[in-house]
Amino acid sequence: MKTRLHDILRRPHPIVQGGMIWNSGWELASAVSEAGGLGLVGSGSMRPEILVDHVRKAKAATKEPFGVNIPLIYKYSEEMARICVDEEVPVVFSSAGSPKKLTPFLKEHGIRVFHVVSTPALASKCEAAGVDGVVAEGFEAGGHNGRDELTTMVLVPMVRRAVRIPVIAAGGIATGAQMAAAMALGADGVQVGSRFAATVEGSGHEAFKRAVVDAGPTDTMLTLKKTVPVRLIRNAFCERALEAESRGATPEELAELLGTGRARMGMFEGNLEEGELEIGQCSGLIEDLPSAGDVLRRIASECEEALNRLRSLTLQAP
Amino acid sequence: MKTRLHDILRRPHPIVQGGMIWNSGWELASAVSEAGGLGLVGSGSMRPEILVDHVRKAKAATKEPFGVNIPLIYKYSEEMARICVDEEVPVVFSSAGSPKKLTPFLKEHGIRVFHVVSTPALASKCEAAGVDGVVAEGFEAGGHNGRDELTTMVLVPMVRRAVRIPVIAAGGIATGAQMAAAMALGADGVQVGSRFAATVEGSGHEAFKRAVVDAGPTDTMLTLKKTVPVRLIRNAFCERALEAESRGATPEELAELLGTGRARMGMFEGNLEEGELEIGQCSGLIEDLPSAGDVLRRIASECEEALNRLRSLTLQAP
């Protein structure tokens, strides 16, 4: 499927693997790029020297282009951007912060920049800041999330109206039928997170990956809305956080309840009760742990099937 | 577009106008059916004799079939079902309650039944109860809403997997591109609420309809989650409700804050500050107040355009 992203990302499929803390290291990113999508190394859980190591290993594993995700609130974000320049990473997906912060620096060095947005207003700011495109990520997405709770179904057309640059849809997308839906909404491509976390190459703990497969349709919830909203599997920690919110806990109380290192504890160390298990609502549609290449090929072929099904519907019209 | 709904609803377009309290009387329902969709009279804000009056006026206004929406928690729901039988209404959309309550009675009298669901588990229960189809309504929808916060993008494929009966997608759908997306997700048709509320024939107060047009992308929020979750425009009342929730108000406090008659006050009497203004996130995509027939024709033609655009994407594939 050839969209405007084709010329920017130079990938056969307009499918980006979302950068996810603790889940997307060099193995996942290189496997996705090798299969024809765009893999992203998620730098948000790495120290700078670890990112260098992951980028070099990914380069050794594939000749295809891959990118890096940089959360701008992360204390090392500027150092991460410098590493991307030094290592000649062709594309950066930034998130969680102002698109003005790193876009000029990265663009000056010939790096393509996409920024993740949860409102059309932020998408317009991104366009003004000179990004190459935006990722419109809805409320159903896993992990950190916007405050306005716009879902993918409404956010993508709103962002499509707000900007002229390419729009990548994200949030809730784990199947090719959903990819076809995103393209119908006006997206130029999709970013897929949760589905790629639950793969052989995902760097999360095996117990976490199994928890993603086991999660049912109603097993995630957005919580910690007074601090940084995050979508989690409803384990013991998540239920405590929801209960604290329900009784009106202050941001300070919630920050104390969260503590530090809980995302690592859940997703990387596999503590399924006390860790943060960040994943999207689409975990309820994920039922196996294939290779990342198989996931990519499956999404692409399911998308083709969905489009063929739509074609036959219109041909039957009375 | 011919789907399985064609044989059940006998309408040229698989587009249902959602039954909405205070907004969907005989004028809206008959206009939608006359234009080729399925109009629904929303009985949830009517006394029984008022429903009889609306059904008779709708029959006088159009020879085309139309339906009635019955919220099962409503005290008159059984009386409403009896009226539908007596008046030979061909289809009932029930919501907010157990599908076992009225389905056998309605089916016995030859009435087609669809039930609104917010989870795939409830969809399975509906299928077991013998309904003809389900409406899978996501978190972005206006008015009363499910507790599990599943969005249309993930709920529709989940429900599609859970049942074999027809699935109508709802929640966030105001444009034809969104209709095409819903069909890509596996829906057999769509239910559109907010977009039809903001029409000439919508029975809401002019000030409310204008507020829907004026609402921006981030102007609604789901609130009153401890009582009956409802999506509202963020006016003075909604902000008080959100603030009360944030400080941990009990269900009793929230019920007292809500009081009675607030939906009528907002949507029918046009009190934009103190009334409940129930509307979906897609209000941010609604920018005019056309006739219901124009809305229906616009959605159908935009859907066709979106499908053609998808077709050209795949033809360009390398």
Q: Read off the pLDDT of residues A40-97 as tens digits, 9 standing for 90 and up.
A: 999 999 999 999 999 999 999 999 999 999 999 999 999 999 999 999 999 999 999 9
pLDDT at A298: 98
Which positions ≥6 away from B263 have C-beta within 8 Å? B21, B22, B45, B275, B276, B278
pLDDT digits (tens, 9 = 90+) for A261-314: 999 999 999 999 999 999 999 999 999 999 999 999 999 999 999 999 998 876
Domains in chain A: ranges and CATH: 13-204+289-313 (3.20.20.70), 206-282 (no CATH)
Q: Residue A195 above 50 pLDDT?
A: yes
- A282 and A140 Cβ atoms separated by less than 8 Å: yes
Q: Residue B267 above 70 pLDDT?
A: yes
pLDDT at B317: 45
Q: Residue B316 above 50 pLDDT?
A: no
Mean pLDDT of B18-33: 98
Q: How confident is the model at residue A176 (pLDDT cuts 50, 70, 90)?
A: very high
pLDDT at A314: 66
Q: Cα Rg for chain B, rounded, in angstroms?
A: 19
Q: How far is A302 from chain B (nearest CA, A)?
A: 11
Helices marked H in chain B: 5-9, 26-34, 48-61, 77-86, 103-108, 120-128, 152-162, 176-184, 194-197, 206-214, 236-246, 251-258, 262-263, 292-315
Mean pLDDT of B138-165: 98
Q: How confident is the model at residue B315 (pLDDT cuts 50, 70, 90)?
A: low
- Which residues 299-318 of B have a C-beta within 8 angstroms of A? 304, 306-307, 310-311, 313-314, 316-318
Q: How confident is the model at residue B318 (pLDDT cuts 50, 70, 90)?
A: very low
pLDDT at B87: 98
The shortest CB-CB distance from A177 to any of B2, B186, B248 is to B186
pLDDT digits (tens, 9 = 90+) for B219-236: 999 999 999 999 999 999
pLDDT at B2: 81
The fraction of chain A above a pLDDT of 90, given in percent, is 95
User: Which amino acid belongs to residue B55?
Assistant: V
pLDDT at B149: 98
Helix, strand, coil share (%) of chain B residues, nearest 5 = 45, 15, 40
How far apart are alpha carbons B254 and A147 in whole angstroms? 22
pLDDT at A290: 98
8 Å CB contact of B153 and A148: no
ipTM of the complex: 0.97
DSSP β-bridge partners for residue B242: none
Q: How confident is the model at residue B312 (pLDDT cuts 50, 70, 90)?
A: confident
Start-to-end CA distance of chain A, whole Å, equals 29
8 Å CB contact of A217 and B182: no
Residue A296: count of CB within 10 angstroms of its CB: 27
Mean pLDDT of A97-123: 98
pLDDT at A178: 98
Q: How far is B194 from chain A (nearest CA, A)?
A: 13
Distances (CA, A) of A86 to A43, A45, B156, B271: 15, 20, 45, 60
Which positions ≥6 away from A32 have C-beta within 8 Å? A15, A17, A38, A39, A66, A196, A292, A293, A296
Chain B CB contacts of A218 below 8 Å: 119, 121, 148, 150
Mean pLDDT of chain A: 96
Distances (CA, A) of B55 to B49, B83, B84, B222: 10, 9, 8, 32
pLDDT digits (tens, 9 = 90+) for B167-200: 999 999 999 999 999 999 999 999 999 999 999 9
The fraction of chain B above a pLDDT of 70, given in percent, is 98
Residue to mutate among A154, A173, A316, with most B CBs inside 10 A, is A154
B186–chain A Cβ distance below 8 A for any pair = yes
- Which residues 263-282 of A have a C-beta within 8 angstroms of B? 280-282
The shortest CB-CB distance from A246 to any of B149, B248, B318 is to B248
B177–chain A Cβ distance below 8 A for any pair = yes
